[in-house]
Structure 1
Amino acid sequence: MLLTMFSVYFSQGICLMITVLQMARLPNIRVASALLSAAFVYDIFWVFISPLIFHESVMIAVARGDNTGESIPMLLRIPRFFDPWGGYDMIGFGDIIFPGLLVAFSYRFDRASKKGILNGYFLWLTVGYAVGLFLTYLALFLMDGHGQPALLYLVPCTLGLIVILGWVRGDLHDLWNYGKGRTENVVDEP
């Protein structure tokens, strides 16, 4: 029964995130920079600064739920397989959706610019997201399980990476102004 409830909530959350990533599109990295920077500050404030005001981290309290164990269904709970106490890790939908929008944008940009897998941005942003997620869990481990704002690690590893790569490759102007003054070349996907 518990496993069935877990799989239903988990799959509904995954489906919701996939739907958002399919429907919402970033027009360029100018908008991505504003969105991800705001989410970056928001995440850090509610995890690290809110305890100074409210005597506990509001983000962590909301994610864990109240004493009944119920929580807002805006996060994924992933069981720890080798934890003798049967704990779980949590990642918020925003920690997947916001960087995911940038990764999806990089895929569209690569297709429209006819860039290959290595000279494009999609592969590198996917690797950057994985590195950012690894750093998040490393910080979680090093800080003895104290909740971490995942966007603190994910934003520099995705937005920072596309800005630096774009600057080095000479594409930063195109990435910044993409879709401005022209229609986007959309390639039909299978």
Structure 2
Amino acid sequence: MDSALSDPHNGSAEAGGAANGTARPPSTPEGIALAYGSLLLMALLPIFFGALRSVRCARGKIFSQEYINLLLSMYFFVLGILALSHTISPFMNKFFPANFPNRQYQLLFTQGSGENKEEIINYEFDAKDLVCLGLSSIVGVWYLLRKHWIANNLFGLAFSLNGVELLHLNNVSTGCILLGGLFIYDVFWVFGTNVMVTVAKSFEAPIKLVFPQDLLEKGLEADNFAMLGLGDIVIPGIFIALLLRFDISLKKNTHTYFYTSFAAYIFGLGLTIFIMHIFKHAQPALLYLVPACIGFPVLVALAKGEVTEMFSYEESNPKDPAAVTEGSKEGTEASASKGLEKKEK
């Protein structure tokens, strides 16, 4: 994912031993040295020989840009269909008639047999999901054949939505560190080199959202694009989503931090576009988005005296056995309570 908002005037924008109930034998100094030495060697080999081979590659490229774009297109064709199908499924469910024959299906792959049988893939879906997958496949073929900007944006929006939905930060401190690191990364690769902008313009893949500036003149066949990298959406987005979950944890029936950070994102992106338009040069959007998305909510927390609560908030891991056990216990108690009420009636 590139994370530069491009200049529109340029035409674009320990577990094993514990699980078996046995203690692991202590590692010997020789074993430790062998392990670390092997890791070091494995790290050095690709760097050394890759550097040597890069010289030959620079003299005569093995793959042209066309073949790389074809490979990326096929890769994002599959990912885009799955992401778009997952995105539109909740909305499409509202349009299916009540008498729609919604059959259930299960895709199950196992290995072994008897007591040693182990599930590898267990995916359940229904007929509605298949319809959504079919519609998404039509968009995928359209993108593959035409590379049309609307198909690109449908895939890009699906990737962004799924990214914000599925990628979770567990606390605000981690989010601040992540955004701070990517802030430096983005500024360097946009202002320090031309790599970020070149990649964004060269590779035909839905790693960015694009919109034509000459839409009014050329209609849907417009080709003078401004672009925004998906990283500028997903990275701040997962931080904003974290603040929404923090709002909910406060149990005050307000979403102050979410709305503040969301407004901050709008301000930061608007400022990016303004600066880009004034200086006629691609801008690292995170340069403006990160201070806004972190600074505004922190100022609100200072005003409300909730800075400690904000930075001490940490989401529990839903896969944590203790959390699962506690949840199961609560569910069992609730079921027993309902059963008792029925008997009393």
Q: If the length of structure 1 is used for normalisation, what is the TM-score?
A: 0.80
Task: Check if 1:139 corresponds to 2:275.
Answer: yes
Aligned with 1:95 (options 232, 236, 240) = 232
Aligned with 2:259 (options 118, 123, 144) = 123
Aligned with 1:78 (options 211, 231, 235) = 211
* 8 Å contact kept, 1:136–1:150: yes
| Alignment of structure 1 residues 157-176 onto 2, 5 Å | 157-176=292-311
- Please tell me the residue identity of whatever aligns with 1:34: I
Instruction: Give the distance between the partners of 1:25 and 1:180, measured in 2 at CA.
Output: 9
Instruction: Give the distance between the partners of 1:71 and 1:168, measured in 2 at CA.
Output: 46
Instruction: Give the distance between the partners of 1:82 and 1:157, measured in 2 at CA.
Output: 33
Structure 2 partner of 1:42: 185
Task: Check if 1:156 corresponds to 2:277.
Answer: no
Relative to its length, the structure with more helix (as a share) is: 2
Secondary structure of the equivalent of 1:168?
Answer: helix
Instruction: Give the distance between the partners of 1:83 and 1:173, measured in 2 at CA.
Output: 54
Deviates more, 1:166-175 or 1:38-47: 166-175
- Please tell me the residue identity of whatever aligns with 1:125: S
Deviations along 1:83-127, one digit per CA (max 9) or x if unpaired, are 788522111111001110111111111111123447x21111111
Structure 2 partner of 1:111: 248
* 8 Å contact kept, 1:129–1:154: yes
Deviations along 1:24-80, one digit per CA (max 9) or x if unpaired, are 111121001110001100000000112xxxxxx111111111xxxx43431111222
- Please tell me the residue identity of whatever aligns with 1:75: K
Instruction: Give the distance between the partners of 2:315 and 2:199, measured in 1 at CA.
Output: 39
Instruction: Give the distance between the partners of 1:10 and 1:168, measured in 2 at CA.
Output: 39
* 8 Å contact kept, 2:153–2:206: no
Structure 2 partner of 1:24: 167
Aligned-pair Cα RMSD in Å: 2.6
Change (3 A) 1:124 1:43: same
Change (3 A) 1:176 1:64: same
Structure 2 partner of 1:64: 201
* Gapped regions of structure 1 (runs ≥ 5): 51-56, 185-190
Instruction: Give the distance between the partners of 1:94 and 1:86, measured in 2 at CA.
Output: 23
* Gapped regions of structure 2 (runs ≥ 5): 1-141, 324-345
Structure 1 partner of 2:47: none
Instruction: Give the distance between the partners of 1:109 and 1:36, measured in 2 at CA.
Output: 18
Percent of aligned positions that are identical: 31
- Aligned residues, how many? 172
Structure 2 partner of 1:13: 156
Q: If the length of structure 2 is used for normalisation, what is the TM-score?
A: 0.46
* 8 Å contact kept, 2:189–2:195: yes
- Please tell me the residue identity of whatever aligns with 2:257: Y
